Amino acid sequence: MRASGAAPAAALGFILTAAIAAFGGQIFLPGHEYGTGEQQVYAIARDARLTVRFARADGTIGTQTSLLHDASSVAFTVEGFTGDGAPVLAVATAGALRQSSVAAVPSDSPVIAADGSAARPEFDGFAPASLVLSGLDASSLDIGTEWHGTGDLALPFAHARAQLHGKANFKSGTLADTLLQAVLNGGASIAGQPRLSKFGAVRLTGGGALSGEAYFQPARHLLVGTDLSLTSNGNAVDAHGTHGSYSLTAHWIVKLVGLVAGTPPIPGISPGIGIPANQMGERANAANVYSPGSPVPVLHPAPMPSGVISGNSGATPTPYAAVTPSPTESLAPLPIGLSSDQPIASPPPAPTPTQS
């Protein structure tokens, strides 16, 4: 069992030399039908172990091992849609921050593009999911599907340029709610220059092998889990030109742990025409839901016959635009374990319907 919590980098014997560039790849399967009020919650974990060895002048071997464990969570709620139909999100995070997220988060709301990308620092931890989705044609995803992709995986002390091969080899569940499993394997080129407390700045170059699994729900166009491992060995050179070696193992998890369905926008109707704008995926202005004009004074409601709706009838008027919150959906169990210290973010509340 790993120790609880994430220790500071300096305490683990290495010093971060530079922030990683912000991630901006495809992280969601295209074709998923988002709805207003939809909520998704993801657990993200990253572990690594780096060991560097140099021969001393007396013939002995000097060794230093650095460890990394961080865990985080990202949750989002669909607040509305752009004019092009792209979902606009409210995002909440919990747990460790990626180094690429040090810069201030933009003030505008994140948007998921049609290809499933979301270039925002809140989603930096989804890089393993982006690697899995790279090169995959989601429209033809079924058992036997194979694909090849490339992508980048970052650690504080190394960077992996990965080439991945995926093959869907098993499925279970019902026709409408199939869980599809894919086996993953591939290779990676490794480069990095961590500053180690015992050896100073060390340059790492080498290669590695990738393996893992990914899990999809094709009917919903969802990647519900990714479990990816890397094993690498190569050369290490210190600031004095001394040559040594390194070994590196790393493990990434991205797992969907919470899902609440939303209300899809009605096609062909512009927000604010015929129904409150918030039901079309955008917040309504309570002062101008339908029209800024006053009611025509010459019109009056028709008299209501007694007993049609009364306190004795047992019936109550239904408020316009009343929405029953969607229940949390049951997710298929995945063989992807999370540590006991895994944080889980709470999604922002769904938009409140306008009552009229």
Is residue 69 in a domain? yes
Q: What is the mean pLDDT of residues 136-153?
A: 92
Number of other CB atoms surrounding residue 52 within 10 Å: 25
Is residue 302 in a domain? no
* Total number of domains constituting the chain: 1
Q: Is the pLDDT of residue 354 over 80?
A: no
- Evaluate whether 192 touches 18 at the Cβ level (below 8 Å): no
DSSP single-letter state for residue 28: S
Is residue 342 in a domain? no
Is residue 347 in a domain? no
As a whole number of angstroms, the distance between CA 71 and CA 188 comes to 23
251 forms beta bridges with 47, 229
Quote the domain boundaries for residue 190.
Answer: 17-260
Structure tokens at 332: 């298929």
DSSP single-letter state for residue 133: H
Is residue 346 in a domain? no
The pLDDT of residue 309 is 40
Q: What is the mean pLDDT of residues 339-355?
A: 85
Is residue 295 in a domain? no
The pLDDT of residue 329 is 77
DSSP single-letter state for residue 340: T
The pLDDT of residue 327 is 63
Question: Token match 């961590």: residue?
Answer: 194
Is residue 183 in a domain? yes
The pLDDT of residue 306 is 47
**pLDDT band, very low/low/confident/very high, at 64 (cuts 50, 70, 90):** very high
Is residue 127 in a domain? yes
CA distances from 289 to 278, 292, 308, 353 (A): 9, 8, 29, 11
Q: What is the mean pLDDT of residues 101-122?
A: 76
Q: Is the pLDDT of residue 114 over 50?
A: yes
- Find the range with the poorest average confidence among 53-62, 236-245, 259-268: 259-268
Q: What is the tens place of the pLDDT at every residue in 173-196?
A: 777 678 999 999 999 999 999 999
